[in-house]
Amino acid sequence: MQGVPGLVALVAVSLATLAIGSYGLRLSRTTSDFYVASRSVRPGLNASAIGGEYLSAASFLGVAALVLTSGAQMLWYPVGWTAGYLVLLVLVAAPLRRSGAYTLPDFAEARLDSRRVRALCSVLVVAIGWLYLLPQFQGAGLTLAAAVGAPAWVGAVVVGLVVVVGVGGGGMRSVTLVQAFQYWLKLTALLLPAVVLLVVWRGDGAPGVGAVGDGWSMPLGAGERGLYTTYSLVLATFLGTMGLPHVVVRFYTNPDGRAARRTTLVVLGLLGAFYLLPPVYAVLGRAYGAAPDDTLVLELPRLVVDGPLGDVLTGLVTAGAFAAFLSTSSGLALAVTGVLAQDVLTGRSAGGLSGVAAFRVGASVAVAVPLAAAVLAPDLSVARAVGLAFAVAASTFCPLLLLGIWWRGLTGHGAVAGLVVGGLGSAAGVVWAVADGTEGGWTDTLLAQPAAWSVPLAFATMLGVSRVTRHRVPVHTRRFMVRLHTPEVVPLDRG
């Protein structure tokens, strides 16, 4: 009986996802459909899809649990994840769309005319994508274990299979529909229970609010190290969003640069609306003495409400959590697939596969590797892996995009040097987290949150090496910059 609502929710979400995906498949015919939905997605639908793709397990389950455990300082996660879209909007959105490239490696190659930069970017996209996919699969395992008592690997495998079928089957056109649906499902799945729980809570005499006094309402940790950690987190999330491969790929599905901006603006609204809710769960969890772990959102309805209503609400949040894993994994798998299919499986090497076939093989590889890692090594902390993906993205693709879009002086050599330095610096943090080093001093703090030093270091390296190799600035730079910044109504030679 305990597991029934969760099981119903799981089956319903998986079926709805596959149904919408196969509807999208009927509309997908060309390779362009597979990759970029033929660049014709309207801002409203596209923004819903971006929201659906972006709101991962970390947002749906992780934030509420973190805030319950550590208080207001963890509110910087949702704030940073939203503000990252504002930074992306003002610095990257329209030029990136106008660049006419599909993936980050495409952009790098077109801008810098260098195969080496392209190869390096491809490696980074796959690395960040897998780093981000791993916790999604692990979270799915945890959720299914909590909801129906299945062993942890079952959830991971179910999500992996649905993602491969969805991505490999229908490509971008069908993923867009699926993810737009999943944003609204996630919002509903968090909003409706929150409203019911708040009503019940008021009926119970609104307990627990008076207790909010101690460190729980302090928005940063104690001392200088608390200040450093918070600012490093802010930097990683504000700047890392633009460098996440699944976020960037979405921008190529906009019809033009102006639509890309408007889409991003709608995304800001959708994310803001969603992120108002997890803190409500944290506060209620504290009021009702819930256990402070990742299953808080799933457990809270039954804790507050008895009987069938509690079961229905539990089913709803389980459905939302599952939608979160599915949509984020689909987006990431799609981005990694794009790179694998374009750079590894097609064309240039002998015996390359045709477009759609390469896409399908790529999708399987993109999912299989992190899925195996999640099943074999299920102990890596979920929230930390996501945080590190942001730190790596902020230390590598953020400088590449910002300097590539706004500075003519960037050279291929500068880009390579900056990507390597930023990548290695932030990867040191990844290794530290995997090795689970706990020294407790400044070294630990600096490595646990590398963004505050690795991002400036990457920028400085990229700028410095580009200045030294300034005779290597690609000849077509000015022409490319023109394309990035000129509105589409001006009839330019857009190559």
Partner 1 sequence: MSEPRPPRVRVTGPPRRRHAPTARTGDIDEQTALGSVYLDSLLREQLALALRVLAVLALTVGSLPLLFHLAPGLAGVRLLGLPLAWVLLGGLVHPWLLLLGWRYVRRAERNERDFVLLLQMDSDMDTET
Interface contacts to partner 1, rule CB under 8 A = 72, 75-76, 79, 82-83, 85-87, 89-91, 94, 209, 212-213, 215, 217-220, 226-227, 230-231, 234, 258, 261-262, 264-265, 268-269, 271-273, 275-276, 279, 406, 478-479, 481-482, 485-487, 489-493
Rounded Cα distance, 15 and 377, in Å: 29
Q: How many helices (H) and strands (E) does the chain have?
A: 22, 0
Q: Write down the residue that tokens 């690795």 correspond to.
A: 454
Rounded Cα distance, 334 and 34, in Å: 10
How big is the chain by its Cα radius of gyration, in Å? 22
Rounded Cα distance, 385 and 390, in Å: 9
Q: Which is it for the CA torsion 400, 108, 256, 393, positive or negative? A: negative
- Closest contact distance (angstroms) between CB of 398 and partner 1 is 13
Considering beta carbons, is residue 226 or 378 the nearer one to partner 1?
A: 226
H-type alpha helices, 113-151: 115-148
- Who contacts 472 (Cβ-Cβ below 8 Å, separation ≥6)? 411, 412, 413
Considering beta carbons, is residue 138 or 229 the nearer one to partner 1?
A: 229
- Closest contact distance (angstroms) between CB of 240 and partner 1 is 15
- Who contacts 202 (Cβ-Cβ below 8 Å, separation ≥6)? none
Considering beta carbons, is residue 215 or 347 the nearer one to partner 1?
A: 215
Rounded Cα distance, 7 and 147, in Å: 7
Considering beta carbons, is residue 210 or 308 the nearer one to partner 1?
A: 210
Considering beta carbons, is residue 42 or 478 the nearer one to partner 1?
A: 478
Q: Would residue 285 be called left, alpha or beta, if left means φ above 0 and alpha means ψ between -120 and 50 degrees?
A: alpha
Rounded Cα distance, 100 and 129, in Å: 22
Considering beta carbons, is residue 265 or 424 the nearer one to partner 1?
A: 265
Residue (of 51, 56, 134) closest to 324 by Cα position: 56
- Closest contact distance (angstroms) between CB of 86 and partner 1 is 5
- Closest contact distance (angstroms) between CB of 255 and partner 1 is 15
* The pair of three-digit structure tokens given for residue 432, joined into one six-digit string: 């530290």
- Closest contact distance (angstroms) between CB of 285 and partner 1 is 14
- Closest contact distance (angstroms) between CB of 36 and partner 1 is 23
Considering beta carbons, is residue 220 or 303 the nearer one to partner 1?
A: 220
Considering beta carbons, is residue 78 or 141 the nearer one to partner 1?
A: 78
- Closest contact distance (angstroms) between CB of 90 and partner 1 is 4
- Closest contact distance (angstroms) between CB of 234 and partner 1 is 7
Residue (of 74, 303, 62, 51) closest to 188 by Cα position: 51
Considering beta carbons, is residue 211 or 377 the nearer one to partner 1?
A: 211
- Closest contact distance (angstroms) between CB of 219 and partner 1 is 4
- Closest contact distance (angstroms) between CB of 284 and partner 1 is 13
Rounded Cα distance, 344 and 469, in Å: 30
Rounded Cα distance, 406 and 261, in Å: 17
Rounded Cα distance, 459 and 453, in Å: 10
Residue (of 2, 5, 9, 18) closest to 321 by Cα position: 9
Considering beta carbons, is residue 299 or 488 the nearer one to partner 1?
A: 488
- Closest contact distance (angstroms) between CB of 216 and partner 1 is 8
Q: Residues 112, 474: contact at Cβ < 8 Å?
A: yes
Considering beta carbons, is residue 470 or 485 the nearer one to partner 1?
A: 485
Cα 201 to the chain's mean position, in Å?
33
Considering beta carbons, is residue 89 or 189 the nearer one to partner 1?
A: 89
Q: Would residue 113 be called left, alpha or beta, if left means φ above 0 and alpha means ψ between -120 and 50 degrees?
A: left
For 167, 285, 392, 395, the CA distances from 337, given in Å and listed in that order, are: 9, 39, 20, 23
Residues pairing with 353 in the sheet: 346
